[in-house]
Structure 1
Amino acid sequence: MDTGSTSRNRPAKGRGAVSNPDGRFERLNRDPYDDGWAAEEGIPPLRTTVRIEQCRTIIAHNDSPDIPFDQSINPYRGCEHGCVYCYARPSHAYAGLSAGLDFETKLFAKTNAAERLRAELARPGYICRPLALGSNTDPYQPIERRYRVMRQILEVLSECEHPLTIVTKSALIERDLDLLAPMARKHLVHAFVSVTTLDRSLARRLEPRAAAPARRLEAVQRLAAAGVPVGVMVAPVIPALNDHDIENILERARAAGADWAGYVLLRLPHEVKDLFREWLARHEPLRAEHVMSLVQGARGGRDNDPRFGVRMRGTGAVADLIGNRFAVACRRLGFNEEERELDCTRFRAPVAGPQLALF
């Protein structure tokens, strides 16, 4: 038996990806080789490491026509939640790292994010538009408990009365209710909790270090009770794996106080398609072929369709059925009936640097 079957195909406890393939920009490919020692010594456990990153800018801009925001902040690179389907995994290749296990174990914390944010908001030409947090990696992943980068960002935005949206799978968002609740009363924040499945066993394998499904619904309830407008994201919807849970998730979220709902069909860009296939072969071997057949049916015969306008929802009979089911459930439960606008008129630019305002 070679090391490929031990290091590349043995699931690491508490991790989502099965393997750690080389980044797509690397010039060299490395193949493991079993010299006989690994079986005797055992494979050492994977540990999370965090590298401090001093970023030069913190607000990212995009002009994608199918994304409902044009500027965002990501406090961290990589994500310890380990969701095997995460579309952000390929971004680790830009750091010379793997989209596999590296993405969930070798993390970057932007510890000067609040400082950079204050400077960028203070620029004379800055135009206030809602900032999206959690659009790439989760701002409330486990390392946030130690580094508190998200907390520091919220403190700046609260001080400046700047509107924002948050997407998370973590109940750690409750820690910041002292900031979020007053901002909500000023129409400055919308929160969205992502719930992929109600099946604890499936969730543990799909997204091993994210909060349990019931705990996320409890976070929805606590946000709503504090007056924070909260929605639920059923994302991603994976045909023949979690799509049967759509209506149940929406019903539970509505009962918890969510008033907005959205969904995204599974996306498999770049390395993610191979990582997901590996995951299926390991965790759902009897359904693997059927799942990928339905995914391809919704993606024009391919594993992924990156075109704007269809990448979030897919095309074809399977995609249409999922979309229709979701729409019917939302109408029945009363989701998305009220348009909630964030208030950009309250924004006050911060004072950059140590100089205080004159008045």
Structure 2
Amino acid sequence: MEKEFISGRGAQGNVDNVFSKITYSQEHIEGVDDWEVESPNTKFTIVHPKTIVNKVSSPDVGMEYSANPYQGCEHGCIYCYARNSHQYWGFSAGLDFETKILVKSNSAKLFKEFITKKNWTGTPINFSGNTDCYQPLERKFKLTQAMLKIALEYGQPIGIITKNSLVLRDLEILKQLAQKNLVTVYISINSLTKETRAKLEPRTATAAQRLKVIETLSNNGIPVGIMCAPIIPGLTDHEIPNVLKAAATAGARWAGYTVVRLNGEIGKIFEEWLHKAYPDRANKIWHSIQSCHQGKVNDSEFGNRMRGSGQLAEMIRDSFRLHCKLNKLNVEHFQFNLSHFNKNKSNQLNLFM
């Protein structure tokens, strides 16, 4: 008897944590094991880390520093590379990643301390370098909003990547940052198909909502782009032309993409999901992913790992470039204005109070 697809979640179970001596197994599909997967509700834990801003050492991710106020992500995107990082906290990269969220409650305090360090010069910091800073729990805890207010106060440049319409809650802050060229927002869309989005990214805003977010941000003078990522060969690659056209029509000015790579435990999680979500196409999609990574589902080589290699990867690249050109995306380069950064601003104001 095969387990049913768990709707509303990406991962279809937990996998062993590679750092733990304890293993996870489900001996029987029926019976006492069922309680864990029938209705996996989200739980959160308040934590107090020592740092919030991280130096990004990988040269091919397009950012130097990232800040993530949450660990784990309720969006449940099946392909998410951040799943592996959940294991460092003692959890599984599977269902645990999307149901057991760590809330870094001191994020704003740590962020302020970091950008006011003596040697900090205002290098742009990306929110959501690991998990989405506007995932559902942000509505309750407002950690991203608090950090944005601090960024505005000190003139700290910020990049944001999200697939949640909650970003519009902070529209007024973003408008003020945009007036000084201190922010860019990228909205992630890799499919316009409702069924595909619901399976791939079960707890995210719909594509229609995300396009509306792009339109609203653009209409309010906030520099906005689209991340057509990750492109999954055999499943979403044919949507590249429509996704880019829709985003450009909505007001996106820039576009980027990646080809899906299933590193670490994500390969196991994705493969199980694939055979449940698309049983008739699973093998074809899996082999298409392998064809982009030299026969594997993950290539760790910098330069190739994000875009893939081989004939299919080249076809994806050519299609992306062509439709960026047709839709006048990436015509100009955005430049942050670092001249507004002033770590001593608050101290100076305090002299007159």
In the alignment, is the contact (CA less than 8 A) between 1:298 and 1:318 conserved in 2? yes
SS of 1:345 mapped into structure 2: helix
Alpha-carbon distance, 1:21 to partner: 1.0
Cα deviation, 1:175-206, whole Å, max 9, x if unaligned, reads 00110011101100000000020001110011
Query: Residues of 2 paired with 1:171 and 1:18: CA distance?
Result: 26
- SS of equivalent to 1:88: helix
1:357 corresponds to which of 345, 350, 353? 350
* Residue 292 (structure 1) shift: 1.2
Measure, in 2, the Cα distance between the counterparts of 1:35 and 1:301: 33
Q: Is the 8 A contact 1:11 1:17 kept in 2?
A: no
The structural deviation recorded for 1:129 is 0.3
Per the normalisation by structure 1, the TM-score is 0.94
The amino acid of 1:258's aligned partner reads A
Structure 1, residues 236-259: CA drift from partner, whole Å, max 9, x if none? 100110111100000100110001
State the identity as a percent. Answer: 39
User: What's the offset of the Cα at 1:28?
Assistant: 2.3
- CA pair 348-273 structure 1, distance change in 2 beyond 3 A: same
Residue equivalent to 1:347? 341
1:61 and 2:80 matched:
no
Asked if structure 2 preserves the Cα contact closer than 8 Å seen for 1:118 and 1:350, the reply is no
**What secondary structure sits across from 1:84 in the alignment?**
coil
Question: What do the CA deviations read for 1:86-145 (whole angstroms, capped 9, x no partner)?
Answer: 011000110111000000000011111111111112211112100011121000001100
Cα distance between partner residues in 2 of 1:131 and 1:57: 14
Return the match for 1:248 from 232, 235, 242: 242
The residue matched to 1:331 in structure 2 has which SS? helix
Correspondence list, 1:134-145, <5 A: 134-145=128-139
Q: Distance in 2 between matches of 1:173 and 1:88?
A: 20
CA RMSD, 1 decimal:
1.9
Say if 1:44 and 1:293 are closer, same or farther in 2 by CA, change over 3 A: closer
**Map of 2:295 onto structure 1:** 301
Shift of 1:40: 9.5
2:149·2:173 contact (CA, 8 Å) conserved in 1? Answer: yes
TM-score (norm 2): 0.95
Cα offset, 1:286, TM superposition: 1.2
- What residue in structure 2 maps to residue 325 of structure 1? 319
How many equivalent pairs are there? 352
Distance 1:292 1:36 in 2: 29
Aligned partners of 2:155 and 2:182 also within 8 Å = yes
Secondary structure at 2:255's aligned position in 1? strand
Q: Are residue 32 (structure 1) and residue 26 (structure 2) matched?
A: yes
Q: State the AA in 1 paired with 2:53.
A: I
CA distance in 2, matches of 1:351, 1:19: 49
Name the residue aligned to 2:213.
219
* 1:292-341 residue CA offsets vs partner (Å, 9 max, x unmatched): 11111110111100111111100000000000000010111100001110
Report the Cα distance in structure 2 between the residues aligned to 1:285 and 1:34, rounded to whole angstroms: 22
2:263 is aligned with what amino acid? P
Q: 1:111 matched to which residue of 2? A: 105
The one-letter code of the counterpart of 2:8 is G
The answer for the alignment partner of 1:48 in structure 2 is: 42
Q: In the alignment, residue 218 of structure 1 is paired with which amino acid?
A: K
- Point out the more displaced range, 316-325 or 23-32: 23-32
5+ residue gaps, structure 1, are none
Q: Distance in 1 between matches of 2:112 and 2:221?
A: 27
Task: Provide the residue aligned with 1:230 in structure 2.
Answer: 224
**How far off is 1:37 after superposition?**
3.7
